[in-house]
Structure formats: C-alpha cells, structure tokens
Amino acid sequence: MKIGVHMEPHVGYTFQEIANLVQKAEELKFHHFTVSDHFFSNPSRPPTTTYEAWTLVALLTPLTDTIRLGTQVTCQSYRNPALLAKIVANIDNASNGRIDLGIGAGWKEAEYRAYGYEFPSTGTRIAQLRETLEIITRLWTEDQPPSFQGKYYRIDEAKFLPKPVQSPHVPIWVGTQTLKAPKMERIIAKYADGIIYEQLPIEELRKKQERMKDACKAQGRDYKTLKWDINVASLIWKEEKQFDKIKQRLTRGNPELTEEKLDSLRTRWLCGPIEKVKSEIQSYEANKVDRLTLCLPMAHSCPDLEAWGIETLELLAQHLFQ
C-alpha cells in the first residue's frame, strides 16, 4: 500500500510553508501529495489565505522531482471541463508524468454562491460530473479533435495538444463519501482509475467494496482494475501523554473546540499514538486499499502549522518506512 499526504491550504498555510512541506514529504519518500480545491475556509471563520488548487499544483511541480502531485478533490463545477483537461495535461507534461486528477461532483454551497456559480441539485451536479469525465477522457485519449454535446457541457472538434505524458492518460480518482450512491458508483465504474473514499470503519469499507464490485460488473469492467484510496484525517503523536499538548495546539487556532469535541476526534479521525495509528493503517492494507492519504493537521490559523506538519511527516516516515 502506498502512503501519501494531503493538506488543506485554506486553514492558513503560507505558500512557503506548503512548499517546505511538499519537499519534506518527497525527501521522506511519501508516494503522493495532494491539496484540496477550495476558495476559502468555513464562511463563519475569519478569512485565511487560500491558494487555488491547480495553480498551487503547478507551482509545486518545479520544486519537486519524484513525488506525485494532485487534488483531493477538484470540484467539477469550478472550471470548464475542456479547460480543466488542458490545465492537468499541461502540468502532467511539466512534471514528467507525476499528476493525479482527484475529482468530485462538488458540495460546498457557500463557495458556489460567493464566487457566482449556480448551485444545482445533487443529481444535476453528478450528471455534470459524468459529462466532465466524458469530455476529459476523450480530449486526453482521442487523436482526432473530438466533439461532444451534452446537456450541460459541450466541445466542438476541440484541438488538444499536448496530450498527457502518462498513458493512456492521467489517472482519474473520483471522490465520494456516501455508502449507497448508485449514480456515483456507475460513474466511477465507467470512468475512474480509482475511488477516493473517506475514512470509515473497516466493515463499512467492505460494504462499499461489495457495492463497487456490483457496479463494475454492471459496466462490464473487471473490478480488480479499480484502485482504492482512503482519505484519512489524522492526528498523530508519539506517546499517549502528549495528547494534552495536542489539545493546546488545536485550541489556539480553534477556541470553539470544547473538551468533548476534542475527545471525539479520537474516534472520528486516525488519531492517537503512532503505534496505535500504525496498527490501524495496517488494517486498511489488509483490506485491499491501494493508497492511504493522511491529512496533515487542520488546525485553523495555528501559529506553528509548518512545524506541526513536519513533525507529523517525520513521525510517520520513521514508523512506516523504516
């Protein structure tokens, strides 16, 4: 199982902090580094610096050599599908084939409203995602300029060069959070190289895997070709006695966090001393998870986000890679 890291730039990282963290992740031999696709943090919070996802990935490309880069996950609504295909193909060329496209239907209504995007129903956003993936896949793989007329998006003999470096195309990872999601499951079975699924109990993961087996069968696809990436919010420390220090760090940037909420993190996240976390990570590998993506600390406006992130990376690498 490959281990990667994820970060949420909207919690207040500076660009230099992000650059330092991706370089540290590469140095420590993590497999991939992903960023979220948001324009701002929780609308109820004071505004924080938030970097646009694909500009950020492009800027990180020349600062790295081996680590894979991408999004988790891009909102299909925020960019015209053909333009998104062009952006990702360009960066794939610049990175010599190190890009992954994590993409989803979109969910954050506050961002849609604030930036002037229509926020249609869930069913419409899922239908738009299907058309987006049809367009992207055809632009990346067809030699003749393709045309497509959908209900929401279209292209008309779209000339498209350069193609991605990776063959047959940049890996497509579709993110979903719901156990029973027939429309999303059909889209994943048809278009995705992999599925990004939220952290969940192993029994729930197995249920989702069975659902995806059925979806792949219905599409005439070999289920074994579908890869799994579990996205896990993580809070890791070396020894149990350090949890009080972790609480202090969290509350400095999140004064609304109560003792009860802090303790609940220990059940909802991949959370605890490193030996406990290591055991839980191994349980994912035993259940045929191909990639595990561990999120760096998400303490809003914490004054030592970079230092905390580097501590987390070093602790993970020391116990997982050696």
- The one-digit pLDDT tens for each residue of the chain (322 residues) are 999 999 999 988 999 999 999 999 999 999 999 999 999 988 877 788 999 999 999 999 999 999 999 999 999 999 999 999 999 999 999 999 999 999 999 999 999 999 999 999 999 999 999 999 999 999 999 999 999 999 999 999 999 999 999 999 999 999 998 999 999 999 999 999 999 998 678 889 999 999 999 999 999 999 999 999 999 888 887 877 777 777 777 777 676 777 677 777 666 678 888 888 898 899 999 999 999 999 998 777 677 889 989 999 999 999 998 7
What's the pLDDT score for residue 244? 74
Q: Say which CATH number the domain at 205 has.
A: 3.20.20.30
Residues paired with residue 295 on neighbouring β-strands, in sequence order? 6, 233
**Tokens, residue 37:** 């696709």
What's the pLDDT score for residue 239? 72
User: What is the tally of structural domains in the chain?
Assistant: 1
> Helices marked H in the chain — which ranges?
15-27, 53-60, 81-94, 109-114, 122-141, 182-191, 202-218, 243-253, 259-268, 274-286, 305-320
Domain extent at residue 179: 2-320
> Helices marked H in 142-201 — which ranges?
182-191
Please give the backbone phi and psi of residue 209, each rounded to the nearest 5 degrees, phi first: -60, -40
Three-state SS letters, 52-82: CHHHHHHHHHHHCCCCEEEECCEEHHHCCHH
Element (H, E) at 233: strand 227-237
What's the pLDDT score for residue 45? 78
What's the pLDDT score for residue 246? 74
Contact predicate 142/196, CB 8 Å: no
What's the pLDDT score for residue 243? 74
Q: What type of residue sits at position 257? A: L
Question: Residue 115, CB half-sphere, CA atoms under 13 Å: how many?
Answer: 15
Q: For residues 59 and 40, give the distance between their C-alpha atoms in angstroms, rounded to a whole number.
A: 19
